[in-house]
Amino acid sequence: MPFNVGISPTLSIRGLIASEKIAEGQVIEKCPAVIYPKNEEIIEQTVFDHYVFDWDETHEALALGYGSLCNHSYERNVSVDYDFETKEIVFTTLREILPGEELLISYNDDSLEPIDPGYLGLDKEIG
């Protein structure tokens, strides 16, 4: 793995930090996805609701592995793609990333809508 779980230098919560130089276009992780119908009340009532991805118009997915620990930035350096055949969420670098940089994705598909920062305190509470 070209990254470690560490403390985000900007958010002071867990995140993924590059442990070595990572080339542009490198797949850093393929996470198996647990796919379920959107608006699943049981999930919405848990901390997991803050770590899911929109899979398609009617489903969401929880990325197993480290992918869900990528934090949000509109200046992302990692893309998120879906492999519908293998049911994986694929994280790929958008540019060269240097050791010590945080791996960041956009939670909002690069829209200009602000994110709900409610998840930020959760990581501090659960370590």
Domain count along the chain: 1
Q: Is residue 120 assigned to a domain? A: no
How far is residue 60's CA from residue 32's CA, in Å, rounded to a whole number? 13
Angle of CA points 7, 114, 22, to nearest 5° = 40
Q: Is residue 125 assigned to a domain? A: no
pTM score, whole prediction: 0.81
Residue 61 bridge partners (DSSP): 35, 53
**For position 115, what pLDDT does the model report?**
44
Mean pLDDT throughout 13-32?
96
Whether the per-residue pLDDT at 103 is higher than 70: the answer is yes
How far is residue 56's CA from residue 40's CA, in Å, rounded to a whole number? 14
Q: Is residue 119 assigned to a domain? A: no
Q: Is residue 122 assigned to a domain? A: no
How far is residue 5's CA from residue 7's CA, in Å, rounded to a whole number? 7
CATH of the domain at 71: 2.170.270.10
Judge whether 97 and 25 are in contact, CB under 8 Å: no
Q: Is residue 47 assigned to a domain? A: yes
Instruction: Give me the domain span that covers residue 9.
Output: 3-107
Q: Is residue 53 assigned to a domain? A: yes
Tens of pLDDT along 38-96?
Answer: 888 887 788 777 788 889 989 999 999 998 899 988 889 999 999 999 999 999 999 99
